[in-house]
Amino acid sequence: MTPRFWLLHVLGWSLFALIAFIARPSEASVPDALQFLAVAAVSIGGLLASLGLRWLYRKVQADGYGELRWLGMLLVASVLAAVGVDVVVYLLLSLLAGLSPGLAALHDAQPMISRAPLLAPAFIAWSLLYLAISRQTRLAEAARHQKDLQLALKEAHLQRLLGHISPHFTFNTLNNIRALILKDPDLAREQITRFASTLRYQFTGSEDALVTVEEEMAVVRDHLSLVGLQLGARLRYSEQVDAVALHRQVPRFCVQLLVENAVKHGLGLSSTGGDLHVAIAAPAGGLRIEVRNSGQLRATDGTGTGLDNLRQRLQLSFGSDAGLSLEEQGDSVVARVWIGSAA
């Protein structure tokens, strides 16, 4: 029981004692002090009995009673509690009646069950209020639990999707370095340094589903440096990144995946290579990423595992305000990612 419960509990029964004392019948033979003590005894009994009702309600909550059964149980329990407190107070006054004429007069003026009609409505009101507050508390706790569960599932889903993408990039990089070692060991060492930076980016922050555009572009440049070893002059790369967009967040390996996809399905298939252009802008507080490459759109280009995962990660991280499209424009294929009002 929380301090708030005890505070409200004591204040409620104190208010009951005050109302009962003010509304008491006129009994000239009984001093006001004794009448107040009697009312206080009834209130203390009500306080203790209501704790018993609380124990009962909490015990049967797990049984899934319907509303009618709850109402019936509430009424019966409240009446029994009222009668029980009345009987206990009456018996207590009976034991004390011989101590003074005032107590004897008080005992005679308040026969058994005379207090129950006042106590029963109080117990019913207390029960209804307690059950209403208890229900709201359980609903709030359930909502918080559900939210925590959704966040945990979301995080687990994001990490699972990331796990599908990261090995794909890693294996391509290793293959590029292996081919380079036999041709130019010095350049291979340089590319190993780039690869080490990529691995550090991947593993030291692997629990972060979102990264900044600046971090993402660093990985893209390292990746294209490795890809350039294979394509050489066939890869003509350019970029245009707004300074405002550098600190915006995107899904990890978002731009890198689009670039890798453009090279694999576009430039890499052409004997003459082509152009690759990355443009990132931040209009109206949103973010727009465009990767354009020379080539034609194939039927399966937009349905690969990587792109499907990226679509899911965008939805999980930003909801319906984010998306991914892939379309052919003239002699180019354009992949677009939008987040927020940049759609």
Joined tokens for residue 87: 């009987």
CA distance 253 to 261: 12
More confident residue, 292 or 141: 292
- In the chain, what are the domain boundaries? 3-114, 154-163+198-224+233-342
For the stretch 55-94, pLDDT in tens is: 888 877 755 566 777 788 888 888 898 888 888 887 887 8
Is 154-163+198-224+233-342 a domain of CATH 3.30.565.10?
Answer: yes
**Count, residues in the chain:** 343
pTM over 0.75: no
DSSP one-letter code for 209: S
Among 98-102, 154-158, 325-329, name the one with the lowest average pLDDT.
Answer: 154-158
Q: For the purposes of burial, counting CB atoms within 10 Å of the CB of 26, is it exposed (0-12), middle (13-18) or buried (19 or more)?
A: exposed
Nearest C-alpha neighbor of 93 from the set 122, 77, 115: 115
Residues of the chain above pLDDT 90, percent? 14
Q: Which run of H or E residues covers position 292?
A: strand 287-294
**Which position has the token pair 């992949």?**
335
pLDDT digits (tens, 9 = 90+) for 219-229: 899 888 877 77
| Spatial contact of 237 and 281, defined as CB atoms under 8 Å apart | no
pLDDT for residue 22:
74
Show the tokens assigned to 15.
């208010």
- Per the listing, tokens 């004692």 go with 17
Condensed to tens digits (0 to 9), the pLDDT of residues 258-314 reads: 998 888 877 756 667 788 999 999 988 889 999 998 888 876 555 567 788 888 888
The residue type at 163: G
Structure-block tokens of residue 118: 């006042």
Q: What is the pLDDT of residue 295?
A: 81
- Sequence-ordered list of residues with C-beta below 8 angstroms from that of 61, at least 6 positions apart, any chain: 134
Residue 224 vs residues 11, 72, 230, 276, 290: alpha-carbon distances, Å: 72, 74, 10, 10, 16
Amino acid identity at 195: F
| Cβ-contact 165, 306 below 8 angstroms | yes
